[in-house]
Each structure stands twice: as C-alpha cells, then as structure tokens.
Structure 1
C-alpha cells in the first residue's frame, strides 16, 4: 500500500492556495491548508482537507503548525509557500515598518518553513518545495519596489536552495504567476492608494492604480496555476520554473529580449 503524500499549503484560504489545496485533495494527497483566516479555511474540509490556523509572521505559529503535521503524519512531502501580498507604494513613501513586513510575509516566512520541513525531507530523501514567486520576480514596475524586492529575493533563495538540497532527493520549484483572479489585485491597489494619499507621486500612482485595475479584467482562474503546481510536484524531474496566468509568458519573454531602456519605456507607456 502506497503512503499518501502529505502537502502543506500556506495562504490557502483564497485564490491559488485554495485552488491548489482542492486539486491535490482530489488527486489523493493528504492536504493541510494553512492561513490566518480560519473561517475561510473551514469550507475546505468538505474535500477532506485538514485546516491549520497559521500566521506566517509568527514563529510560534509556524513551529506549532509544522509540529502538528509531524505528530499526525510523521512527514511533510510537499511544502507550497503560497502566502503573500503586494505592499505597493513608492520606495520613498512606504515606511520601513511596512517594507519589513512585506519581506517578512513574502520571503522570510517561506524560508523559515523550509528550515522546519527540511530535516524530515532529508531523512526521507524525498521532498518538493514549491515557492510561489511571480512574474514580478523577473522584472519590476513602478511603485512595487518592496514587493518586487521580496520576489526577486525569493527567486535567488530558491536557486541557491535547489543546488543545496538536490543531493538529498529534494526538488525546489519556482512558480511565476502572471495575472490571476484573486484578492491580490484589490489589496495591492488599496495599499498603493493608502501609501500615496499625500505623496509627490500621487498623479503617477493614480494612473498606475487604474492600469492595475484594468489589467485584472482578463486574469486567469487560479486553477491554471494550481495545475502547474501539480505538474511540478508530480514530475520526477520537474522544471526549475513554471510560468502561467494572463500575459505571463509574453511579459517574461519581453523582459528577456528587450534592453533595460526599452523595457522601461514599455512599462511607462502603460501609465499614460
């Protein structure tokens, strides 16, 4: 009898995390869905998903969550670091407190969970660590400096980690979503406007906020990314990076092909 693989997914109350939790549960994984909002998580129980309240900025919450799974299952085979948000605003306007929180949620929480699950993965000589980055980990737009910093850093962390843990039979997979229907865009625009109410950048911010709102109209359903995640964790030799969602591949390709000057010109043209 084959033991079911155990997956821990953070930020699982909505969007990509929720869609991934349901998809994996439907494919015979033992799924632990973690998020701060327990009320949002409880509806996942109808798919046989186990829910864990977890604040990724709280060390005790992270440790307790992982230990709870180890006690029940004795192993975590798949870690999907999905929790994150966009703390937008100009580099000048965003407070250092808010900047540090952005990095805490999008980068350091993922790194800490990786530290917590790796000993068991190494002992079992198997593991899949999936870090949900963004096409914003490949290029940067105005007013997203701290968000992009967190995703660029997550990409670098993942590349280093991949080469460290490969010897133990552990794969590190980066997923770079483009436009996906979720709460992300609304929260991002809200943060952007809030940080820029009395800003010297307000006129540009207003234009960029309108661009963000308009760009969400054709966003992909979260299941598109969930399927990419499952493709990666079920592959014996997964790709290092999976790109998907609205406009994702086109944007990443443009960044590869265009010079810095040409790419900046293209980005700024969208804000006119």
Structure 2
C-alpha cells in the first residue's frame, strides 16, 4: 500500500494503540491516532501520526472524528478499533452503572466507530476493520465477568460483520492478544481492589491481583507481537480472520475447544487461587 492510504487508530495514547499507529506511519501510511486526552497524544506528532480527540462513549465526538478525517484526507482505508479498558471485580460487586460503561466503551464504541466509517468503505469497494479483542473473548477468568462479556461480544460482532461486509469488499480481522506487557495488570489490580477488595470476594481479589502481576509482568510478551499482527491485517493481500498472539494465546484458545468446562474451571482455580478448598 502507498502513503495515500489512511488509517484511523482509536485508543492511540498508549500501549497497543500508540505502537500500532507509529508502526503504520513508519510503513508509509497517513495515520490519525485518536484518544480522549489530547495531551497524551501530542508526542505522536513527532512520529508521523496526526492526533485527534475522541471519546468512544460520546456519539458527537465519534461523528466529528470521522467527518474530520474524511474532510482532511478524503478516505479511511483501515479502522483499528483499539479503544477500550478493563473492569475487574466479582459480578456481584461491580455496580451496574460501571458494568454499563464497560460495555458502552468496549462494545458499543467499537460498533459505532465501524458504523461511521463503513459508508465510506462501501462506497470505495474496499477497506479493513481491525477489532482488538482478546483471548478473554474465548475463556473467562473469575472476577473478570464484565470485561470478558465485552470481549465475547466483540468476537460475535466481528464474525457477523466479516460475513456481512465480504460482498462489499470490506475485510474484518480480529486481534486476540494474550498476556502482553502493558498496563493491563496494574489496571486490573486497581479495579479488583476497588470493587472486590473487601467483603466476600476479598481473598480471591488479592490472589487474582498477584496472578495478574505475574502474567503481565516480565514474563509477558512484548507489544510488538500485537503490532506485527495489526500491520499484517492492514497490509496483507489476504489477511487472516483472527490473529492470536503470542503462541501461548493460540494454545489457550485451542484448549477451550477441547477441554471440558469442569476441567477448565479446575485449571483456572489453581491458576488464580479460586478453587474450592
């Protein structure tokens, strides 16, 4: 692809989104990186990425973003739906309004961004939507029910979109990261403490926080493995429908297809210290 191709990346202020936006710019793309806080995006200018504010829970904000990109560049060839966050805590403990916002950002924000770019892609007879999902959309951890619900939903929506859009020349790919060295573990620990740090699930929350510290710490994969998958999905002549990275993510997803639920529950219980004693 040439430099005339335009990529729009949401959640570009840190982590996977920032790294993907920079990688696409380095590959010669015109890239718009969007997130809620402009001050966290300003450093992207020096890396060839144009920053833009967006809140994927605010419809006017999303409409303005897409309108501005079309007005400036005339097209959007690739949308990377990366904006999202995690809420951890027992299903019983997490307030409904907090759960609602988790779904609003991770599911409806992704869907609305797709709705806004798709008329332009269909008119062009080409385009790609890359949804950042997770192995969390295949297997659930205890005390992560609302986050997992959002990622399972992304899987279902992406599958439906892939079939719907194929006749229009628009491809849909899902990126399913496993344990990647990002802020995820710290954020999960904070919400575990906030919502389940006391009460009936407190002991589980402490064990989960320690497990996440291990999983997303020094032994986790570098963000580059996810970025490589995003770039491939954006540029390959025949991108895959799903990218599970790193290899441990592929193994985890494969296990969910063959391991009976009671066995998987026992494995999870040993991993996170939530098995019945």
TM-score, length-normalised on structure 2?
0.95
Equivalent residues of 1:125, 1:168 under 8 A apart: yes
Give 1:183 deviation, angstroms.
1.7
Give 1:3 deviation, angstroms.
5.8
Paired with 1:143 and 1:166, the residues of 2 have a C-alpha distance of: 37
Paired with 1:24 and 1:124, the residues of 2 have a C-alpha distance of: 21
Equivalent residues of 2:3, 2:30 under 8 A apart: no
Equivalent residues of 1:85, 1:188 under 8 A apart: no
Paired with 1:181 and 1:44, the residues of 2 have a C-alpha distance of: 21
| 1:23 corresponds to 2:23 | yes
| 1:227 corresponds to 2:231 | no
Partner in structure 2 of residue 195 of structure 1: 195
Q: Secondary structure at the match of 2:272?
A: coil
Q: Secondary structure at the match of 1:80?
A: strand
Equivalent residues of 2:3, 2:29 under 8 A apart: no
Equivalent residues of 1:180, 1:246 under 8 A apart: no
Paired with 1:185 and 1:103, the residues of 2 have a C-alpha distance of: 20
Aligned residues: 272
Partner in structure 1 of residue 142 of structure 2: 142
Give 1:250 deviation, angstroms.
2.1
Cα gap change, 1:267 to 1:98, in 2 (>3 Å): same
Segment drifting more, 201-210 vs 248-257: 248-257
Where do residues 8-19 of structure 1 align in structure 2 (5 Å cutoff)? Answer: 8-19=8-19
Partner in structure 1 of residue 180 of structure 2: 180
Equivalent residues of 1:220, 1:246 under 8 A apart: no
Paired with 2:17 and 2:246, the residues of 1 have a C-alpha distance of: 14
Equivalent residues of 2:77, 2:128 under 8 A apart: yes
| 1:120 corresponds to 2:120 | yes
1:26-71 CA distance string (max 9 Å, x none) = 0011000001121221111112210001111111111111110010
Partner in structure 1 of residue 36 of structure 2: 36
Alpha-carbon RMSD across the aligned residues, in angstroms, is 1.3
1:183-228 CA distance string (max 9 Å, x none) = 2221111011100133211111111111111111211121210111
Give 1:236 deviation, angstroms.
1.9
